[in-house]
Chains A and B, each alone.
Chain A
Amino acid sequence: MPPILQISNLHKSFKKFKALNGVSLTVNQGEIFGFLGCNGAGKSTTIRCLLTLIKPDSGEIFFKGKNINECRSEFLSSVGCIVEKPDFYKNLSLETNLKLSAMLYNKNPSQKEIYDSLELVGLKGKEKIKFKACSQGMKQRLGIAAALIHNPEIIILDEPSNGLDPRGMIELRQLILRMKNEMKKTIIISSHILSEVELIVDSLIIIDKGVNVIQGSANELLHGSDVMVNIESTETDRLVEKIKNSPYSTHIESVLENRIIMKSTMKEVAQLHKDLILMDEPIQNFYTRKKLEDLFLKLTEN
């Protein structure tokens, strides 16, 4: 079975600025795909090319093995998305906005279906509120409801947690997992909040300056990579001495006033923790830094 989505060697320039310089990626059916990169890396341009908002200079996009230029309508019927931010008609209510959105997919949902969709994203009881009166979080939720209203196979969420409070972010994460597990959707998430992405993605790509930096499954990329261990201690000097005399002597990355940063791997972390305790020095805190953040910073540092 071909991948549900495949982008091959995408190029796009805006006058002299090369926004995309050969981006390629593959998204498999039923997975949550993380699309990562710094600001200006080319994420939005790639998503816009994918959604036919802009025409790439060269390169191809395939939906289930078919070039989307030949099946644009079929492809866009199978996609629900939020591009950059959810924009709706400010003078219309949430209910009406959702209804009009569904009608553009040739669907005429009943009021119950609309109310159910709003309930799914936590907007129950807010059906009649006008879009202009909504908070950013409510707008984001409406965007997700609109992305789901026509029951698409693929959901593309560009910065979906923008404007959400911590509770909203947790609910969104649960909703995304539900979309994958219960509704069997394929989900592409572009986000700057790496810790959020890390918790849910099955595979991911990092792009930088319009080119692929890395792509692979989350297991391979995150759990096989090095991690940074932060050790906070009031006796840093004595602890550093003991580490230098141990098999971990080459693992020290830097020493700060009350903190030692060490390089390790996920497999070694538990043993390292145990060995440090055996060194019998006070340790106030021991934690690994976010793995995806490390990978991201390492790959995009130039």
Chain B
Amino acid sequence: MGNLIYVELYKTFAKPRTYIGLIAIILLIGLIQIGYYLSKEDIGGQIKSMMGDSVTVENLSLNGNMVCYLVMQMLYFHLPIIVALVSGDSISGEMSSGTIRALMVKPAPRWKLFLAKWIANQFYLLIVVLVIYFFGLLLSRFMFGNGDIVVYGNEISILSKGELLVRFTKAIALSYLSLTVISNLAFMLSSFMENSVAPIVITMVINIVFLIIGSLTFEFFEPIQQVLFTKHMSVWTYSFELNPDLKEMNKSLIILLLYILGFFSIAFYSFTKKDITQ
């Protein structure tokens, strides 16, 4: 199994697209940081524009924690594209290039080949969140210093700088779980298709459609909205609440886990049972 995982990781990190995603994240974070660095005098106005006029911000200066929090909110909508770029190519890329044949005639059982691919994908995802952690949090702290932040969720919370490293770590771990849903969706679609563009596009279409349905205010959609994974992907924000609604948080976690399990199972079945005819 070790060899299989090594081979899959080697292949993943030999593809230019793997780095395109990571470089895009670093650039986006860098641009946001530069933007805030240049307009740091106006931070009160920035926060007001995000949180509304009812919030009065006093004695609050721009700091690395605040920048990281804002970075995470901004990237929340864009990370799925970057994740899908690699996961969506994982199996379909091998189908389109024909290397799937060479892979499937190896003595390792198909479930092991599948698992090795899945683990390589999860590892890439881990790198993505670690890049956010490093560049978003640690670099921002280095550039802007440590400090308290004010967060507007179900309630307004002022979080002291001493507890923020733990909260950010929890938030990053939860965002990893959210992105795993996207990664597994793209991975599942990849197991059905023979070109690598379609799974990426379809993943994004599903994400966008779910986001739109989630934002509709018609009563009819309410029960559906409760089970859309996009509604629960912001579960990481609970890490920044002083009194998080644990019931709601657990519900979100369970729904996300069910999506992951569902996508994983379908992909597993498709990969292990499919005829390689192309």
Contact = CB atoms under 8 A, between A and B. Distances in A.
B38 interface: no
Nearest to A101: B102
Contacts of B106: 76, 104-105
Interface residues of B, number: 24
Nearest to B16: A91
B275 A53 contact: yes
A54 B101 contact: no
A286 to B, nearest CB: 46
Contact of B14 (A87, A92, A101, A105): A92
Contact of A52 (B3, B14, B102, B104): B104
A87 B99 contact: yes
Contacts of A193: none
Given A76-B106, A91-B16, A103-B7, A14 B277 contact: yes
Interface in B100-138: 101-109
Contacts, number: 75
A83 B107 contact: no
Interface in A25-66: 48, 51-55
Given A54-B277, A73-B109, A92-B14, A106 B101 contact: no
Contacts of B108: 73, 104
A80 to B, nearest CB: 9
A73 B107 contact: yes
Majority secondary structure, A binding face: loop
B277 A84 contact: no
Given A54-B275, A88-B102, A90-B97, A72 B109 contact: yes
Interface in B59-113: 97-99, 101-109
A75 to B, nearest CB: 8
Contact of B276 (A53, A74, A101): A53
Contacts of B102: 83, 86-88, 101, 146
Interface of A: 14, 48, 51-55, 72-77, 79, 81, 83-92, 96, 100-101, 103-106, 108, 146
18 contacts: A48-B275, A51-B105, A52-B104, A53-B104, A54-B275, A72-B109, A74-B107, A76-B107, A84-B101, A87-B97, A87-B99, A89-B11, A91-B14, A92-B11, A96-B10, A103-B6, A108-B3, A146-B102
